[in-house]
Amino acid sequence: MFVEFLGIPRERAGVSEIELEAETFGQVLGEISARCPGLSDLITAEGFHPSIAANLNGDEFVKSLETRFANEDRLLILSADAGG
């Protein structure tokens, strides 16, 4: 799957996107924390800090750590207030 970073998360991650293998949102967060240390302080045991949002394929926002992903999914990481 691909994880794309937008806005402040992109600046903190230092990359625009990463490709990774993960089955759940919890696993994605673990990978992001390990590969993008600039974002690790925004990841808690419950998910992202409230200032950060995760959107799956442009269709729905993801919060549950048990949310499952397919290989072709794209997760967008952006500031929760992006877009106004």
84 domain residue, yes or no:
no
What is the number of domains present in the chain?
1
What pLDDT, in 10s, does the model give residues 15-24? Answer: 999 999 999 9
Q: pTM of the prediction?
A: 0.91
Rounded Cα gap, residues 61 and 68, in angstroms: 13
Q: Which range, of 27-31, 49-53, 80-84, averages the lowest pLDDT?
A: 80-84
Q: What's the confidence (pLDDT) of residue 81? A: 78
Q: What's the confidence (pLDDT) of residue 84? A: 47
pLDDT of 83 > 60? The answer is no
Q: What is the mean pLDDT of residues 31-56?
A: 95
67 domain residue, yes or no:
yes
* Coil, helix or strand at residue 46: coil
What average pLDDT does the chain have? Answer: 94
Q: Which domain holds residue 60?
A: 2-79
pLDDT of 36 > 90? The answer is yes
CATH number of the domain bearing residue 27: 3.10.20.30
